[in-house]
Structure 1
């Protein structure tokens, strides 16, 4: 159910998100995902006004008294999704564009975050503009996020740095930032954004999307390659260029990974052919790590 090709047949984004999360959580212990704490350290007596979801019914069965499980840490946080909507995100492999995969990924992670009681927010970087949807925890706000996500149509280049420090530090609260991008940048503008965000001490996960055809370079004969953001073209002999291409690609990915990990930014490269469960698992690992530090 988490296969991207299968998921593209679901046109309703909320339904797709629910399908992905339900599939991912099959066999998963839901109690570790929900509530005001991933772990709890003690019980206390029930007080009027307490959330009834955190009553421990086993304790009630043993003692005939109501107890609330208390969390060691308050885990409700703000999760902000940053989406690269530059023209290169239109890159298609086997009928799945990077932007389509990005939308499925953001929708699923936002559903999961909302399930955990987290506030969600959305920023879209596109052709000199920056769309912002503020952070709120309620289900109605989640529907707004889905609506704006559905409207995203990639074009132009990635937004140049503009007052990022003021934009992402205005509430003074640390957030979990989930950045979905293909890491295509003309002048280091994506690194500039991430440098600023890391300096603000936010927890950051970067999901680097690539088409499987980009990873394999499985073209034959002479091929014309076009830069989707500048329109420039180049002809290459795919057979002779493949070995050099793969070496250069490995060097490129190693540089990106080293640059981000050096700033304590979690990094995961995903092929658009990969099931979404790997991304959801990485999200939960990083979320929990940020909460217990």
Structure 2
């Protein structure tokens, strides 16, 4: 079952929304590809001293007279941190849903999915030139705190951040999977600087680039000008502008894909009109990559 973003707007409770999205997604997903307690195991491996005997497969022992452990999410759980762009441009609404609401629903759903996989989840909100952060933990109460922070989020200011990303995202004993939800709008190179740092720290990074349908199709009927939500700059538009805009947008998206590939970062552009299923599937693929 897929849920249209317009329908999600009617679900006011964020934890319920996240559960509804993920349950619907998992019902149509091949669960045998997902590791975790209660789901089918990924593979067997030989027992090693110190392994948890709860994961011993006694049927395999009866057939082979050898001890085997069923590998599960208990052994492969990771740390997942969600980075959410909450600068003023994320207030953009294409007439159906705002980017920040889509980001809110997407992040809550991915956090619920990660938590159900046994992963520790954390949050970093880039808002009005600052940063609010929750460390990664595997704890139901911690997940509720993450939901609360997302619910209270009000985009403002520009994406400037604290500027000391290396100190914020290094020093951990193991790599994290970092999920960055953003519209990729930057006045200078603020987002590029963040991604360069994360890539240099050798974290797995997936970027979900959000765009409204009106931005993708240049559908601004009835408007003769547009105002930048962060700088206040006003730009005149006309039918001639549309062709130039679409050409520049295609070149811009192509350049972004190339830059992300060079940084070894997974990049996905999402329209805010799309159901969340595609993003959840991409997340699961990235989540199981290299861990």
State the distance in 2 between where 1:231 and 1:151 align: 25
Are 1:124 and 2:119 an aligned pair?
A: no
Aligned to 2:157: 156
Distance in structure 1 (CA, Å) of the matches to 2:18 and 2:223: 40
C-alpha spacing 1:168/1:242, structure 2 compared with 1 (3 Å): same
Q: In the alignment, what sits opposite 1:258?
A: 258
* Large movers: runs of 4+ above 3 Å: 47-51, 54-63, 65-68, 70-74
Query: TM-score by structure 2 length?
Result: 0.90
1:169 paired residue number:
170
Match of 1:289 in 2: 289
User: CA deviation digits over 1:131-184, x for unaligned, max 9?
Assistant: 010010122211111111111100000024511101100324210000000000
Mapped to 1, the partners of 2:226 and 2:213 lie a distance apart of: 16
Q: Is the 8 A contact 1:161 1:192 kept in 2?
A: no
Deviates more, 1:189-198 or 1:141-150: 141-150
Alignment of 1:1-293 (within 5 A): 1-35=2-36, 39-42=42-45, 44=47, 50-51=53-54, 54=55, 56=57, 68-70=69-71, 74-160=75-161, 162-220=163-221, 223-237=224-238, 239-291=239-291
3-state SS of 1:146 partner: helix
Q: Is the contact made by 2:42 and 2:70 (CA closer than 8 Å) also made in structure 1?
A: no
CA distance in 2, matches of 1:61, 1:28: 32
Change (3 A) 1:180 1:145: same
Q: CA deviation at 1:71?
A: 5.4
Unaligned runs of 5+ in 1: none
Alpha-carbon distance, 1:104 to partner? 0.5
1:209–1:269 CA contact under 8 A, matched in 2: yes
Counterparts in 2 of 1:242 and 1:141: CA distance versus 1, 3 Å: same
Q: CA RMSD in A?
A: 2.8
Unaligned runs of 5+ in 2: none
Count of matched residue pairs: 288
The answer as to whether partners of 2:182 and 2:209 remain within 8 angstroms in 1 is yes
> Structure 1 residue 257: deviation in Å?
1.2
Aligned partner of residue 287 in structure 2, secondary structure:
helix
TM-superposition CA deviations, 1:234-287 (whole Å, max 9, x none): 2221x2211111001111111111111111000000000001000001101111
The 8 Å contact of residues 207 and 268 in structure 1, kept in 2 or not, is answered as yes
- Whether the 8 Å CA contact 1:34–1:117 is kept in 2: the answer is no
Distance 1:21 1:58 in 2: 32
SS in 1 for 2:172: coil
TM-score normalised by the chain length of structure 1: 0.89
CA positional deviation for 1:90: 0.3
